[in-house]
Amino acid sequence: MALLLLKNHLPAFQWNFDDAFDLTAAQKNCDVCKKAFYGSFFLCAPIAAAAALYTSHRSSGSIALSTITAGLVYLALHAANDRSNFAITLIILAVAAVTVGINRRANTYFPPVKSSTGVPFAVGLIDLLPVAFLALLLIPSDLERVTSVVREESHKVSYFIGPALYGYTPGLIPGLDYHSHYGPALGWFFHLIMGDGWKSAAMRAVGLNIAITLAVYIQAYFLLAYLVRSRLLAIGIVTALAVLAFSTTNHFYSPSAYPTRFPLLIVFVLAIGLHCADPKHSGWLIVSAIMCALSLLWQTEIGLFFLVTGTCVAAIAGGFLNYRNAFVFFITSIAAAILLCLLLFGPRVLSLTFLIECFRPLVLYGTGWGSSPIKWTLSWSVIYDLPLQVIGCITIGWASMRLSRSSDSPRDRFVAGVLLALSMIGIALMIKWVNRTLDAVWHQNALPLVIVAAWWAHQFAAAWRPSFKKAVGAGVAVATIAALLFVQDKINPHPYGLRSYVYYPSLLMRPFVSPSVETWQEDFSRITETETKFIQDNSKPGERVLVIAMMDWAYLAQAHRAPEAYFMPLMVAFDEHYVDRSMNTANRVFYDNIVETRATLPRVRETLERIKRDYVAVETKGNLTLYERRH
């Protein structure tokens, strides 16, 4: 309640989608405070629960009543967000207090359904069917069609293609010579596989996004099948999440909106769980630390989630506090990340500027989409902002208590470690989206907490009578199908779920969808052999080139030249200083006048003014004009 009172004193701003991203306003209003607020809001409960359990050395009350109490407290906070509902808030808190009183006299032990010791993880030929189904569900029958409809969407460029183009000039360092918006190693990796030309780069960016998404969902299926002991339930949950992740009529254009952000999530959690099963040995702890280091380089935000989670779990497993294991994990993760940076980029990474720029995207992400803290309404947000987070909070407290004692079997400690790691990472992922309306990305971030919720449901349902269990299962299946069909949001009126998936040309949908002709955007047709040769003739291999065009990245990919622009694509850069930084050192500019048709964009206006003021045209070939700096 104290946090809720503080939220009205946090600054707020709103991003104007029609006028690009206002970074200055975001930084001025310190949106990082909002994320810190959410972090405190959702983590204070599990931290307090874990501390109470540790100091009392026993659990207090039943899991069911504890869940009810936590849910009532969050609903009270929900009601208190509207000052006119303060009386309702007090009533809800009074009911919560009653449940606490009942809980003190409740059963203080939550036994497992049955001893799980010795139950092995097994993969059979039958598992090929779910894997094949997921492949048919997600692999497109026409990758070029999926890629071509993306049109002006720039996310695939800023995520993969843009940073990869800098690989054409050896020795360039992310953060020092260019901005890699998500992680320092993304460009290095994608440069190895992006192929020749803009079309190959675009198609492989989308293809890689699909491949990673498929791999994560396959891993999630096997983990779920092991935790809930049901292949049917596991494939049903994964399929539902996969379909719910579809939105609009275009798909897989934005890697940051898919599991591509966390390709090592499941294997990292499994490594942490294996360490918890035998915390006296550091083998799996070191493996998980290396995965954390790789995640720091892939997407810094996710790597930090792994770093905090791994350190906390290592400190708890085998007896709280285990300083040695926490130290080993933390130092190994940081050391491995530094070593990988040295191997990839050389000694220039040993600078404060490189470190700051690696973490700067976290501030940019924090600005998100604006709005005020705790903007909840009694609609979708009750479902999306409360239940899974409550389950995650309770699981953190419960699993911390289980792991801090050594009486459990190795398999039970493994499960507790997996659930603890999934809960911590899941809550961290949800903080970014906690204030959004219905959004397909929510379902991607919900994956860890959905797995945790499925395990709890399995635990409670195991004691039910078979007939009742079948009836509940049928009801859940019907509700899930209804959600896939009718899920919608009035604020974001796009197709979601199955209504979006029918537009995706998957192998599964191929018999039901007629093939269509790929129509690439008009801008791409301007990139011919004439323009490519023009760039190559006026620059040397390995030289950086500044192209001013809506598809600047495509010109450079075709010509095999690294951008002189600090960020790609420059015309939609979120920071106004990137235009100045890019043009201040550029003596020559290749200009495509099609950008004048987008003169309403802020970066385009700034660039046109700079060209008229500082440059003079010297030669034109095809659709490009070469400008040189005035003397």
pLDDT in tens, 238-274: 999 999 888 888 888 778 778 998 999 999 999 999 9
1 pLDDT above the threshold of 80: no
Q: Name which residue leads in pLDDT, 366 or 332.
A: 332
What pLDDT digit, counting tens, does each position of 446-491 carry?
899 999 999 998 988 888 888 888 898 899 899 889 888 887 766 6
- At 176, list the tokens: 């020092």
Looking up tokens 């499941």, which residue turns up? 266
Place 27 in a pLDDT band, splitting at 50, 70 and 90.
very low
pLDDT at 522: 72
280 pLDDT above the threshold of 70: yes
pTM for the full model? 0.85
* Distance separating the N- and C-terminal Cα atoms of the chain: 64
120 pLDDT above the threshold of 80: no
518 in Cβ contact with 263 (< 8 Å):
no
What pLDDT digit, counting tens, does each position of 292-302 carry?
999 999 988 89
Q: Name which residue leads in pLDDT, 428 or 575.
A: 428
- At 326, list the tokens: 């926490």
d(CA 161, CA 208) in angstroms, rounded, equals 11
Helix axes 300-316, 265-277, angle to 10 degrees: 10
Q: Phi/psi at 247 (nearest 5 deg)?
A: -150, 155
When pLDDT is averaged across residues 553-576 and rounded to a whole number, the result is 88
CA dihedral 464, 466, 471, 473 (to 10 degrees): 80
When pLDDT is averaged across residues 53-60 and rounded to a whole number, the result is 56
C-alpha distance from residue 321 to each of 52, 318, 324, 416 (Å): 15, 9, 9, 17
d(CA 237, CA 224) in angstroms, rounded, equals 9
d(CA 15, CA 370) in angstroms, rounded, equals 6
By three-state DSSP, how is residue 72 classified? helix
User: 465: which residues sit within 8 A by CB, 6+ positions away?
Assistant: none
Task: Report CA torsion sign: 414, 418, 424, 427.
Answer: negative
Q: Name which residue leads in pLDDT, 64 or 439.
A: 64
What pLDDT digit, counting tens, does each position of 134-188 carry?
999 999 998 888 888 765 567 778 888 999 999 999 999 998 898 888 889 999 9
pLDDT at 59: 54
pLDDT at 49: 61
Task: Report CA torsion sign: 152, 155, 161, 162.
Answer: positive
For the ranges 575-584, 593-602, 615-624, the one whose mean pLDDT is highest: 615-624
pLDDT at 17: 39
When pLDDT is averaged across residues 365-380 and rounded to a whole number, the result is 45
d(CA 162, CA 165) in angstroms, rounded, equals 5
13 pLDDT above the threshold of 50: no
What pLDDT digit, counting tens, does each position of 31-46 carry?
455 555 555 666 666 6
Mean predicted lDDT score pLDDT of the chain? 81
When pLDDT is averaged across residues 430-458 and rounded to a whole number, the result is 76
Looking up tokens 């918890």, which residue turns up? 276
d(CA 83, CA 102) in angstroms, rounded, equals 29
Element (H, E) at 352: helix 352-367
Partners of 588 in the β-ladder = 628
496 in Cβ contact with 489 (< 8 Å):
yes
208 pLDDT above the threshold of 50: yes
Helix axes 323-345, 300-316, angle to 10 degrees: 150
Looking up tokens 């998936």, which residue turns up? 501
d(CA 370, CA 359) in angstroms, rounded, equals 20
